[in-house]
Structure 1
Amino acid sequence: METEKILSSIAAFDPQLYNYFQDELQKQKYALSLMPEENYTSPLSAYLEGSILSNTSMTHHDEEAPAGLESITVSRVNKLYGSEHASIRTSNIAAASRVVFYSLLKKGDTVLSLDNRKKDHCNSESLQFNFVKFSIDPHEQRIKLDQVEKLANEHKPKIIIFSPVNYPRIVDYKHLSDIAKSVGAYMWFDICQNAGLVAAKEIPSPVPYADVVTFSTHDSLQGPQGCVILCRKKMAKSIDNTVITTGHFALKKNILAALAIVFKEAATEKYGQYCHQVILNAKSLQKGLEEEGLEILCGGTDTNLVLLNLTKLQMSCNKACSALRLAGIMTKPTVLTTAEDKITFDILRLSSLILTTRGLKEAEMYTIGHMIGIVLKNHNNPEKLDEIRQDITDIAIQYPLFSDEWLAAKAILNPVYSGGNLSLPHELAAERKKAVLKKILGFIKK
């Protein structure tokens, strides 16, 4: 059934749900999101997730031939990342993290973790550990591995976790791994929104230096909600058994197929071009922000992530987020801890993933950096925020939610958010976009 007919049927049968759907569609189309944990799903993956495969499932009791769907998917993951073993049954990063904890640790063991990452996933009596934090130096704004080594020697952790959710720079993975080995600890890298950049070889891979690697599949990989656990072969049996005993014994075939297709897409030249653009866009966003006099933490970015420090503006991250939301820009507010407990930073975590998926390039990202600065400097001016909101809409309307530029296969069914369904004529939207860019350039020159 065609998309329009499906929507018409929903509108007639369930107007309340249809109105919610339309409201969400408008929000996504006419705003610009820099949220780091989100992305738009590959059209091929989205189609498979909603296909007839959603009618069937499989459990760990099912016999899987080498050509079976789970085997195909696991094989693609291992080939993509050069890993020895992969589990794809967990549905989210919290569940995957608990699997790793149950598999490798005992109650009371010491965990050395960047910013205490994963501590929030230990919410049961059997998952109580002694967490020790390492973090960025608040003055140099970098992770100092000599300090990590000092903490490891002092506390003798059973596992070291590096999860750079709030860290946009590349670290020496081998050095971290060597620190773990020196104290007899496992080394766990959670590569979160960097998973796509690693797959595309735009940034180094931690897999050769890791005992465990985890990542979600719905953000940088543009797939369905899911999570992957990579591990060394010697740990495979323990990880797989824990996956089953913690309740992840069934898989819907539509999710498996949706995962399989994104792992195949991630190996294509098109996806590599997308990931390259992600980094270019992050650097252009940073440049626009800095030209507005805003401070970027950690000296910049090597990935999709730009950390906007709000300290000099004397503004809380939540207040800044609210002002930007009114202007049509979606961001992630965070209070960033450091190696010195008394020093924290209110920041906005800005990611180039979503806007790159939509097709924006360096010029637009540079402009958006300036627009963010203008909003924050005028956060108490409703009229100015309304004006910027219209400018943001004029930019957003130019782009689909998933640009045809990144499609590995061209002859596909267009989802409802494709480039072919923009509601304004392309020529009119292009003229409005030019006017917005001209206006912003005027602001910049003042």
Structure 2
Amino acid sequence: MERAEIMNVFGQFDPEMAILSQKEEERQRSTINIIASENFASPLATFLEGGIWANKNSEGYPGKRYVAGCELADAVENLAIKRLKELFQCEHANVQAMSATVGNVAIMNAVLKPGDTILSMELSHGGHLSHGASFHYSGKTFKAVHYGVNRETEQIDMDEVRKLALEHSPKMIICGTSSYPRLIDYAGFAEIAKAVGALFFVDLAHNVGLVAAGVIPSPVPYADIVSSSTHKTFRGPRGGGIILCKKELAGKIDRALFPGLQGAAKLDMIAARAVLFKECMTDEFKRYGKQVLDNAVALAGGCMAEGLRLVAGGTDTHLAVVDVTNLIPSGKQAEEVLASVGIICNKNGIPFDSQPLTLASGIRIGSPFMTTRGMKAKEMFHVGVLVGQALRNYNDSLLLNNIRKEVTDMAAKYPLFADEWLPRHS
């Protein structure tokens, strides 16, 4: 069947799911999405997902499969690995993790023993749950000690990192964030890790596309291990994780992922990621990365112009964290008000937050999705202004209705994926 015919059959067979899918596309088209962890995946990078490679079991690693007929599967995975190593200039790469968090668990299982101490960023200061949060597998299996940000600068307190490392002698120091807007001193972390004999592990999931585009510094020269998802700033489909590491750790980590944690890899996902890695080497993707940074600064600037306070004073990346409490009581209320006018973001705690995370004092905003759609800095600054205006006037239904109309009109001007980001050559 051709795709148009399949879609027709699908709509007749499962009209409920067809309607939901159509409504979701309409929602994405008609709103301005500034959720920092979301993006619209490249059509090149999604082309092979669910395609012919989805039918093949490729359990094992290239050259060491547990089923026959894997000669082409080996070629696909080897190509993905080759491109990933070239993209990040790393010694070893694994592309089989079903998600970045699964990859993180495999990494810890590979190089740590239960009860070992890890040093990672406090979740409420911008860290990630898979780095030792008490409710997560990592926090239940390993002894987690957390560093945070300086109360005045709201940036990572490297003196505290050093002090805690010397005091607790962790086996691993983890550097990775989910809502931290500033650049990270990878060299400083590596120096501290070396001083206490710890492995240095970087979870790059949020900033990975910016590193791939060459617009912010890479942790690869400093870290023993780097992991990442393949969406967010990477602009690939959701799902799938990558692991980059030193050669001497490769065998342990590969075995910890398969057969230690997962079964057969999802070959269509690996094939799609191989295309993504090639796309990230293009001039178009490098321009995209630069535009993401410019747009994030503009978006944050628009918020600041309306009197909102930026955590850490601004952004060096694709995201900003905004303290909303001078305009509206909580981040939860801010998220709801903004959603009502078609601006989609998420509530987020701020460092030393006095409110519970269910309410939070801030929102997290980002530029990847709307950059993919084609917005530039001027428009993103105006989106930031609209954020401030909506929050300041959250009880003014007439003004909110006017903002909603303006947002709808703005969103309608942009496709879901702007043609300018599609590579024009191989």
Q: Structure 2 length as normaliser, TM-score?
A: 0.91
Contact 1:211 1:231 in 2 (8 A): yes
3-state SS of the aligned residue for 1:324? helix
1:58 aligns with 2:58: yes
Residue 380 (str. 1) matches residue 387 (str. 2):
no
Question: Which residues of 2 match residues 276-295 of structure 1 at below 5 A?
Answer: 276-295=290-309
Contact in 2 for aligned 1:324/1:372 (Cα 8 Å): yes
1:78 matched residue in structure 2: 85
Alignment counterpart, residue 93 of structure 1, candidates 94, 100, 104: 100
Aligned to 1:328: 342
- Describe the superposition over 1:270-319 as per-residue Cα deviations: whole angstroms up to 9, x where unpaired: 00000000000011111111111111111111110111112323521111
The alpha carbon displacement at 1:380 in A equals 2.0
Q: Which among 107, 110, 117 is matched to residue 110 of structure 1?
A: 117
Change (3 A) 1:350 1:274: same
Quickly say closer, same or farther: Cα 1:43–1:376, change in 2 above 3 A.
same
Pairwise CA distance, 1:40:
1.1
Decide which of 384, 398, 407 is 1:369's aligned counterpart. 384
How big is the shift at 1:162? 1.0
Contact persistence 2:105–2:138 (CA under 8 A) = no
Contact preservation (8 Å) 2:293, 2:318: yes
1:176 maps to 2:183:
no
For the Cα contact (< 8 Å) 1:304–1:353, is it kept in 2? yes
* Distance change (3 Å), C-alpha of 1:375 and 1:184: same
CA distance in 2 between counterparts of 1:137 and 1:410 reads 46
| AA partner of residue 235 (structure 1) | L
CA-CA distance at 1:368 after TM superposition: 0.2
On the 8 A contact 2:40/2:369 being kept in 1, the answer is yes
The AA in structure 2 aligned to 1:322 is: E
The residue that corresponds to 2:243 in the other structure is 229
How far has the Cα of 1:194 moved from its partner?
Answer: 0.6
* Contact 1:58/1:250, CA 8 A, preserved across alignment: yes
Tell me which moved more, 251-260 or 64-73.
64-73
Partner residue of 2:178 out of 165, 188, 203: 165
Give SS of 2:81's match. Answer: helix
How many residues are treated as equivalent by the alignment?
A: 410
Gaps of 5+ in 1: 412-446
Alignment of 1:12-411 (within 5 A): 12-60=12-60, 61-62=64-65, 68-116=75-123, 117=128, 118-120=131-133, 123-124=136-137, 128-224=141-237, 225-338=239-352, 346-409=361-424
The range that moved more, 325-334 or 44-53, is 44-53
CA distance in 2, matches of 1:293, 1:282: 17
CA distance 1:8–1:93, shift in 2 (3 Å): same
Query: Residues of 1 paired with 2:77 and 2:418: CA distance?
Result: 29
Compute the RMSD of aligned alpha carbons. Answer: 2.3
Q: Deviations over 1:11-37 (max 9, x none)?
A: 222211111111111111101111122
Residue identity opposite 2:178 in structure 1:
V
Q: Measured at CA, do residues 124 and 198 of structure 1 come closer, stay the same or move farther in structure 2, by a change above 3 Å?
A: closer
Structure 2: distance between partners of 1:18 and 1:361:
33
Q: Is the 8 A contact 2:96 2:266 kept in 1?
A: no
Moved more, 156-165 or 320-329: 156-165
Once residues 383 and 332 of structure 2 are traced to their aligned partners in structure 1, the CA distance between those partners, rounded to angstroms, is 19
1:33–1:355 contact (8 Å) kept in structure 2 = yes
Report which stretch shifted further, 326-335 or 258-267. Answer: 326-335
Secondary structure of 1:248's partner?
Answer: coil
Deviations 1:314-333 (A, max 9, x none): 52111110110111111021
Deviation at 1:56, TM superposition (A): 1.9
Cα distance change, pair 114–64 in 1 and its aligned pair in 2 (3 A): farther
Give the SS at the match of 2:47. Answer: helix
